[in-house]
Amino acid sequence: MMSEAKLEALLTESRAFPPSAEFAAQANAQPSIYDEADADPEAWWRKQAGRLTWDTAPTKTLEWDLPFAKWFSDGRLNASVNCVDRHVAAGRGDKVAYHWVADKEGESRTITYRQLLGMVCQATNALVELGVKEGDRVAIYMPMIPEAVVAMLAVARLGAVHSVVFAGFSAEALSSRILDSDCQYVITADGAYRRGTASPLKPAVDEALQSCPNVKAVLVVQRTGGDVNWIEGRDYWWHDVVDRQSEQHVPKSFPSEQTLLIMYTSGTTAKPKGIFHTTGGYLVQAATTHYYVFDVKAETDVCWTAADIGWITGHSYIVYGPLVNGVTQVMYEGLPDSGGRDRWWKIIDEFKVTILYTAPTTIRTLMKWGPELPDSHDLSSLRLLGTVGEPINPEAWMWYRRHVGGERCPIVDTWWQTETGAILASPLPGITATKPGAAMRALPGISLDVVDNEAQSVGNGEGGYLVVTKPWPAMTRGIYGDPERFKQTYWTRFPGLYFAGDGAKRDADGDLWLLGRVDDVMNISGHRLSTTEVEHALVGHPAVAEAAVVGASDETTGQAIVAFVTLKLSAEEATKDQAPLIHELREHVARTISPIARPRQIILTPDLPKTRSGKIMRRLLRDVAENRSLGDVTTLTDPTVVNMISQLMTTTPSGEE
């Protein structure tokens, strides 16, 4: 039986919420900007480049040698100056840049733009002392503390490249990322707080660096005060090296196409891709999208992007976009339930947050905790809500609108990727209608299409593959050190078009709906993981012979990992109680990649369904994992295998989390 809520959700799916008149009256965006950008996209972006402070203003806009783009290439600028110095120089130094809110209730720090500038200059001077130079790569592996932002801006200020690695990743994942881009410096912390408990971070760095001989220095913020292992001559405390530095630093300017950042993301192979972004185009689009999509008013808004700086959302909408626009933000260290399940609502009320941006998976978790919690707090400061990272189900969208947005806040469902650098599709508040679960349309200056297998545009009411048809300023400039893989991955499926890897449909009105990945990339709680990466981790365990991993739909996390595993054990060993081994395998994956990669379910099976040419039939396994009827199984070497696996699926329990 369909629940009432689900039924309502389905009914609202076809419902559009017209732009609110209140928003329209004061909106940053006006309907004419779509036409203006359509008429001449390059001229549109050239105009947006005026949001930045350039030391040398660009005269060039786009140079396009498919698939390699250059934007504003003869311009020169400094990213850190654009985020901080210029606001102080313009007399806005006393404006709050961040209200940093600790995991522990009651602990917070308020940092003005002037203070942020002092902190960034001190950190820059410290990095110079440690030997960091223009073009060097610096890994940042930190919890959500202000020093993480300071570290990013200090690296950028020197024209060096930051590679932020999510602090939830394992030592192995960290070392492979450090090695791939040959980072010679690491900035980290002794530990992090999670629901009041300190968990160490430095041991993972120490372990990772055993296989990274090129790392010269590790700068460590003391966050938790626990015991740490220390290597003299390599490790430096932040408070010893940074705090004694001058708060002045005279910045240089760098070419627009100077690499600013590398962000690793999962593709369809076991090896994550080092997506890199350059300075000018990335900053222009991060700031422009932040301005229009979130309708920010620098003087009055308080923006809270509830994401981690270890992901691209944190880069573009906690650090670069909002700082370039000079707004006040909330930055939160903890989990949604650190200090209680109403923690978020307390934060919104206390800091009078006006714009909230988060992932559907978090909304679904908050939803599970009940509407009484948001309903019993004053959330009237909110005026706009956003979502990102995965398709949002209409039920969650409606809950967000009703219980968080008080039926008055527009919701922007923003579609983009690590590779796109900034938002490409979203409604514009005050202009575009919204529909529960639809990203609606491409932003001004962006050309998207939905195409069929032959690269032909589909009609209204039809589905296909999402592609980007024209270059955009914040597009990745490639995969670090692997231009061939960049071409192969994104530009060969539909020659001349950027293939995002997402399925999409146009509804009867021509509005855009994202339908999820069409490749072997899974989306677990908005985190991207490849099936091969998890399979690789599983077969790295001595007991495992073969593994096949699929992403199965999950009510809370969007997708969840289901792994089908054959063992190397003897028949006698294999028939013993398998629960401890399954537990061990789940933990093994969590240790090898990250706890976010821990499979929900592991099914131990004597065999996997294979085609006669020996390929594992993942499609069938996905059907099994999602309890769907199985299609054609005649191409299998042994069709009985899938029936057996279906049986096992129903008798194997899911993981605790």
The answer to whether 448 and 471 have CB atoms below 8 angstroms apart is no
Measured distance between the N- and C-terminal CA atoms of the chain, rounded to whole angstroms:
26
| Residue 152 CB, nearest approach to ligand PRX (Å) | 17
> Which residue in 91, 98, 141, 140 sits closest to 119, CA to CA?
98
What is the spatial distance between Cα 303 and Cα 299, in angstroms, rounded to a whole number?
Answer: 11
Complex with ligand PRX: residue 148 or 219, whichever CB lies closer: 148
| Residue 443 CB, nearest approach to ligand PRX (Å) | 13
Task: Name residues contacting ligand PRX, limited to 548-587 (CB under 6 A).
Answer: none
> Of 113-121, 199-207, 248-256, 382-390, which part binds ligand PRX (CB under 6 A)?
382-390
Rounded to 5, what percent of the chain is helix, strand, coil?
35, 25, 40
Complex with ligand PRX: residue 238 or 357, whichever CB lies closer: 357
- Verify binding: residue 73, ligand PRX, rule CB under 6 A: no
Complex with ligand PRX: residue 265 or 354, whichever CB lies closer: 265
Complex with ligand PRX: residue 529 or 538, whichever CB lies closer: 529
The 8-class DSSP code of residue 551 comes to: E
Task: Name residues contacting ligand PRX, limited to 390-449 (CB under 6 A).
Answer: 390-391, 413-418, 439
Q: What is the dihedral of CA 441, 443, 446, 452, to 10 degrees?
A: -10
| Residue 424 CB, nearest approach to ligand PRX (Å) | 9
Complex with ligand PRX: residue 274 or 501, whichever CB lies closer: 501
H-type helices in 270-402, by residue range?
279-293, 312-314, 321-324, 343-351, 360-368, 372-375, 394-399
| Residue 423 CB, nearest approach to ligand PRX (Å) | 8
- In order, the DSSP letters of 52-102 are S--SB--S--EEEETTEEEESTT-EE-HHIIIIIHHIIIIITTSEEEEEE-
Binding mask 508-547 for ligand PRX (x = CB under 6 A): ------x--x-----x----x-------------------
**Would you call 139 helix, strand, or coil by DSSP?**
strand
**Would you call 151 helix, strand, or coil by DSSP?**
helix
Binding mask 248-277 for ligand PRX (x = CB under 6 A): -----------------x------------
| Residue 282 CB, nearest approach to ligand PRX (Å) | 14
Complex with ligand PRX: residue 220 or 593, whichever CB lies closer: 593
- Verify binding: residue 278, ligand PRX, rule CB under 6 A: no
What is the spatial distance between Cα 109 and Cα 118, in angstroms, rounded to a whole number?
Answer: 15
| Residue 551 CB, nearest approach to ligand PRX (Å) | 11
How many amino acids of this chain bind ligand PRX (CB under 6 A)?
21
> Which residue in 247, 255, 526 sits closest to 413, CA to CA?
526
Complex with ligand PRX: residue 155 or 263, whichever CB lies closer: 263
What is the spatial distance between Cα 108 and Cα 98, in angstroms, rounded to a whole number?
Answer: 10
> Of 121-129, 153-161, 346-354, 386-394, which part binds ligand PRX (CB under 6 A)?
386-394
| Residue 13 CB, nearest approach to ligand PRX (Å) | 15
| Residue 387 CB, nearest approach to ligand PRX (Å) | 6
The 8-class DSSP code of residue 359 comes to: -
Task: Name residues contacting ligand PRX, limited to 463-492 (CB under 6 A).
Answer: none
Binding mask 310-349 for ligand PRX (x = CB under 6 A): --xx------------------------------------
Complex with ligand PRX: residue 215 or 521, whichever CB lies closer: 521
Complex with ligand PRX: residue 320 or 416, whichever CB lies closer: 416
Complex with ligand PRX: residue 532 or 605, whichever CB lies closer: 532
What is the spatial distance between Cα 165 and Cα 412, in angstroms, rounded to a whole number?
Answer: 27
Identify the burial level of 322 via C-beta atoms within 10 angstroms of its C-beta, where 0-12 means exposed, 13-18 middle and 19 or more buried.
buried
Binding mask 488-507 for ligand PRX (x = CB under 6 A): ------------xxx-----
What is the spatial distance between Cα 548 and Cα 136, in angstroms, rounded to a whole number?
Answer: 38
Q: Which two tokens stand for residue 392?
A: 């949002």
- Verify binding: residue 389, ligand PRX, rule CB under 6 A: yes
Task: Name residues contacting ligand PRX, limited to 143-162 (CB under 6 A).
Answer: none
Complex with ligand PRX: residue 392 or 590, whichever CB lies closer: 392
Binding mask 14-53 for ligand PRX (x = CB under 6 A): ----------------------------------------
- Angle value at C-alpha 407, between 406 and 409, nearest 5 degrees: 85
Complex with ligand PRX: residue 444 or 501, whichever CB lies closer: 501
What is the spatial distance between Cα 242 and Cα 125, in angstroms, rounded to a whole number?
Answer: 8
Instruction: Report CA-CA distances (Å) from 483 to 66, 228, 471.
Output: 12, 40, 17
Complex with ligand PRX: residue 265 or 325, whichever CB lies closer: 265
> Of 101-109, 388-396, 540-548, 636-644, which part binds ligand PRX (CB under 6 A)?
388-396
3-state helix/strand/coil string of 449-488: EEECCCCCECCCCCEEEEEECCCCCCCCCEECCCHHHHHH
| Residue 473 CB, nearest approach to ligand PRX (Å) | 16
How many residues in the chain? 657
**Would you call 227 helix, strand, or coil by DSSP?**
coil
What is the spatial distance between Cα 294 and Cα 423, in angstroms, rounded to a whole number?
Answer: 11
Beta bridge pairs of residue 345:
none
| Residue 394 CB, nearest approach to ligand PRX (Å) | 13
What is the spatial distance between Cα 650 and Cα 592, in angstroms, rounded to a whole number?
Answer: 27
| Residue 306 CB, nearest approach to ligand PRX (Å) | 13
Q: Which residues bind ligand PRX (CB under 6 A)?
A: 265, 312-313, 388-391, 413-418, 439, 500-502, 514, 517, 523, 528
